[in-house]
Structure 1
């Protein structure tokens, strides 16, 4: 019967979480598509970034030297750690060292612009080569009231807050969706922004799109913090009282 009381208590706790507390992007939406204008700024390569480069041509023996992952599977199916460790690292001067070609300046370029620069450099050595360049050092950290906190690698230079939370398994029922902290490293130091996931304005926020090394921290709901993560005593006694009553009736 004590077990029954605990089950009733758990049900009561879950029932205290309302739909408004767990719903994202709340608002009055119709069946018609809603357009939100929020064009993210293209990411510019900086020192210590790690790039994945794959060169393809009709002469694979000439492109082998450029492909540091020759024994790996195609991009997107390889181990993220291997891609990171064996990638092209942007040095402090903004260059990557490409075999045969030498140093290629990529600092301050977008991913697409860097791909064009590398392709032109390799074209001097391999005719009709196709170059694929991706950023593999795009990592974000998600902590707090999420199901699987940790550090995640994202193969998308336009990753969003919701995408990162999805990788972490979504928020737990005790996660405060109205107060998610975004910690971002800038040249002037760390910045902390508060995001409200329940507001549709999130989609047009300049912080909706993430940058490499961003961190998200999901705080617990205020009531849980005030109780010091302890169970509400009123609910506890109510559950135990119900269990005692049922025990008296059915023993």
Structure 2
């Protein structure tokens, strides 16, 4: 997974920052934080939304002045639509990010169990060997931090919970890591490892199913998007023809007078 760089927060008016938070959707800032971004990225995203939505709203004014004043009603509709559309794009990006995050954690789950089965070593020793196998990324960095926390806070599952929440962000991840801690501290039972292995396999399968579902949806919606595009083009053509006929009739009536 790509490591995200958080931008440095610039000095801005407090009222403006509060305003951007006030007009944001209830879960928008949480999504921004979970994706590894901060206050600066949130501020820039909200500012971009306002600018884009305002331009969309202003685009309705020339139409209203040249065609019909009723089209002034289109201005707030365009603003709201663009505002909603940008939020939906951010939501899709967030869900994709969480999906990749869970998939990376599932790979970690699948890797750690065989190490425990094959090596009669401590959990810390297993993690130390895994560090060399893992690709550079968020999971590897968090695993290093987990090993430090295990040394500084022995006899508690809190470092394992923190790792699960940061690396996996799911109930399955927390269950896996807490069970892993219990196994290492209390019960050296092979049946526990089998359960963990099954949980890891299920997570991998679920990730594969989600990939298939995502690709299927993209393929299924492609004809619909083509139909929508054709409909919009047809409506635009019919609108221009209707406008031409109405204009011609008005000129004819004016000439008759």
The normalised TM-score by structure 1 is: 0.24
Higher helix share: 2
Query: 1 or 2, which has the higher strand percentage?
Result: 1
Highest RCO, 1 vs 2 (Cα 8 Å, sep ≥ 6) = 1
Alignment TM-score, normalising by the size of structure 2: 0.23
Larger Rg: 2
